[in-house]
Each structure stands twice: as structure tokens, then as C-alpha cells.
Amino acid sequence: MFNCGLEFDCLLKVGSYNIFMNVVRYYPFAGLLFALFYLWKKSNFFRYKIQEKYPNVDKIKKEIVQSFVTLIVFSGIATTVYILNKLDVIHTKMYRDPELYGGVSYMILSFILITIWHETWFYWAHRIMHHKKIYSYVHAVHHQSVNPTPIAAYNFHWIEAIFEGIYVVPFLLVLPMYYPVFLVHTFYAMFLNMYFHSGFEFYPKGFTTNRFFKWVNTSTHHNLHHSKFNGNYSLYFNFWDRVMGTNFKQYEESYEKVVQKRDFFQKSEELTPIQ
């Protein structure tokens, strides 16, 4: 993308571009979800709310500011990788010719593999950050959002932001990835993160007990993590939590209560006569 070397002007362009792209892809989408659920259509979406209370304005402001710290760290990681590649210290395997490595078949495979890798990295890094000797210094920042919003998705301490963003580097050092597929992965990860922090549940009744869908995480799953802290550590899927026994015991029951409350509100609205 950048046909320049390690000159100051070039590095400034690389860094500025990374910051711009991170800010442009995060705040508008997180802001749109927040505006939709918490402001514009607040009454319409109330029945989907997991915690009935709404977070206070000061907490939301902190989420906005701290998310910017995370975006700066992510940009720093990308710029550092660019520099290390130019110095021949590392060689990431990003490619732009769609015909390489088997075309579409390999693109799909690489997307699946990076998703599995990210899930595994996130679960174990997350558990480590909950260790009593680490938690209060790093991860506690994220848990200030006890009742999270979409803007809390990137509300990380700068050290945690490094661990959240650096997972892509070892993957790209080992396996080639088509650049557009990599972008799709980053958007996929970001949107799911926003949904899991949204504070709203849209999945259907019985989702967490279905033999197939129970392996997929819900917004309720991560919301419980924010309200109860030590459990429900996984990201996209419920594999590691189930295998390691770290799901909260009340997870499935809590999910059904959220869905029942949603259905109750919906039926009440349907039975209310139009004035």
C-alpha cells in the first residue's frame, strides 16, 4: 500500500493512515449502535435490554475516551509491523493476488483458521488478565463498564489493548492471508465485540441449549461476564468455557430469563389496545 521506506514522512503517513482507519471504522459504527439502542429507538428496544438500568453519562464518556487509547495502540502495532517488515526483522505473509494459495478455497480456510486462533488467544489472554495479581492493574479498566454499551467494546487499558491487537502478528508470520479477507475478519471481530457489549439480546429462545447453537456465544454471555466478572471468558464461541468449566452456572437460566422478559413485553404491547 505504501511504496516508501523508513523515512520520517513515510512513517508519519503510515501511522496517520492507521489511526484514521481505526477511528473511522470504530466510532461511527459504535456510535450508530449506541444512538439506535440508547437514544433514537430506546423505547422500541427496551424489551431486548439485558440489564434494565441504563449506564450513566460519565461512564459512557470514559468509554469513548479510553477506546481512543486502544485505537492508538492498535495503530501503533500496525505501524510497528510495517517497520519490522521493512527492516527484514519479520516477514508477514499478507498477499493481494486472489489466485495465490488456492484462490477462494484457501481464503475461506484462512478466515476459519484466524477465527479459531483469535478465539483461543482471547480466551487464555482473558483468563490471565483476570489473575488477582494482574486484574487490578490492567483488566479492571474494562470492567468499569459493569453495564456495557457498544462503545465499551474497545474500552481497554493500553497494556490490554496490546494483547487484544497483537494476536494477528504470529498468525500472519505463519500463514498467508489475502488482504481483503483479513479486513473482513477485523470488521467481523469488531462488530461481534460491539454486539456482545451492546447490553441487548436478540437471539431466540432455547439458543443456549440447542445442541448446535449452544457453542455460539450470546450478548447475555458477555454481559454476565461484566456484571459477575470471574467466568464467561470466551469470545465468539462457547467452546473453551464449556471445555474448561468456566461458564457461569446460571448462564443458560439467565439467558432464558432475558428472553422470557422480552417475550412478556412483546405480548403486553400486542395486547394493549390502540387508543
Q: Write down the mean pLDDT value for the chain.
A: 93
220 assigned to some structural domain = no
235, 119 Cβ separation under 8 angstroms? yes
270 assigned to some structural domain = no
Is 104's pLDDT higher than 80? yes
Total domains, the chain: 1
Distances (CA, A) of 201 to 204, 217, 228, 239, 265: 9, 11, 17, 20, 14
The larger pLDDT score, comparing residue 131 to residue 229, is at 131
Is 16's pLDDT higher than 90? yes
Cα–Cα distance, 55 to 49 (Å, whole number): 12
3-state SS, residue 6 = coil
Q: What is the mean pLDDT of residues 218-241?
A: 96
114 assigned to some structural domain = yes
Is 272's pLDDT higher than 60? no
pTM: 0.92
Cα–Cα distance, 154 to 34 (Å, whole number): 14
What residues contact residue 69 under an 8 Å CB cut-off, 6+ apart?
156, 158, 161
Cα–Cα distance, 270 to 91 (Å, whole number): 60
Residue 152's pLDDT is 95
Residue 229's pLDDT is 87
136 assigned to some structural domain = yes
The residue range of the domain holding 126 is: 8-198
Residue 1's pLDDT is 64
Residue 159's pLDDT is 97
228 assigned to some structural domain = no
Which single residue is written with the C-alpha cell 473482513?
A: 184
Q: What is the mean pLDDT of residues 6-34?
A: 94
241 assigned to some structural domain = no
87 assigned to some structural domain = yes
**Where residue 273 falls among pLDDT bands split at 50, 70, 90?**
low
Share of the chain above pLDDT 70, in %: 96
Residue 4's pLDDT is 82
Q: What is the mean pLDDT of residues 229-247?
A: 96
Cα–Cα distance, 130 to 140 (Å, whole number): 9
Is 275's pLDDT higher than 80? no
Nearest 5 degrees, angle CA 118-CA 30-CA 206?
65
**Where residue 262 falls among pLDDT bands split at 50, 70, 90?**
confident
Is 271's pLDDT higher than 70? no
